[in-house]
């Protein structure tokens, strides 16, 4: 089950469609959907998590905590709406598209995709693009 939670004034307007889309991504990647919680927050909230759990003193758009068991995906995905909005502006893209990219990015990490090297980043971006088109 995909759940959406809010620690900021922001609220998705199309939760049902986005949950169905993410469910289809999980199935396409041959994984099973477990309990996945999205938490939309601001930079301060996510920065505190980044410091506490990852010991990174930086701003980021997403942090995911993966509790998956084999092919059954479970986890918490925290997204800074402020950071996504700024990144959308920086990359000259629509806020909704950037938000959806970050949302699917978290799921793809749970499916085993990495983004540390340039080749991993390219593979991740190709998968994000593929699933964004399907939305």
- Residues annotated within the binding site are 105, 109, 115
pLDDT-based confidence at residue 71 (cuts at 50, 70, 90)? very high
Superfamily holding 2-134: Metalloproteases ("zincins"), catalytic domain (3.40.390.30)
pLDDT-based confidence at residue 54 (cuts at 50, 70, 90)? confident
Residue bearing tokens 């693009």: 129
Q: What is the pLDDT of residue 108?
A: 98
- Residues annotated within the binding site for Zn(2+) are 105, 109, 115
Q: What is the pLDDT of residue 127?
A: 97
pLDDT digits (tens, 9 = 90+) for 104-113: 999 999 999 9
pLDDT digits (tens, 9 = 90+) for 16-32: 999 999 999 999 999 99
Does the structure show a pLDDT above 90 at 48? yes
Does the structure show a pLDDT above 90 at 44? yes
């Amino acid at each position: 089950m995909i759940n959406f939670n809010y620690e900021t004034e922001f609220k998705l307007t199309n939760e049902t469609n986005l949950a169905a889309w993410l469910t289809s991504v999980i199935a396409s990647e041959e994984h099973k959907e477990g309990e996945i919680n999205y938490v939309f927050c601001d930079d301060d909230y996510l920065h505190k998590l980044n410091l506490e759990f990852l010991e990174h003193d930086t701003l980021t758009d997403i942090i995911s905590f993966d509790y998956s068991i084999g092919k059954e995906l479970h986890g918490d995905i925290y997204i800074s709406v402020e950071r996504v909005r700024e990144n959308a502006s920086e990359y000259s893209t629509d806020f909704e598209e950037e938000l959806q990219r970050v949302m699917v990015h978290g799921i793809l990490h749970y499916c085993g995709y990495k983004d540390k090297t340039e080749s991993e980043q390219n593979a991740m971006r190709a998968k994000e693009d593929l699933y964004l088109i399907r939305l």
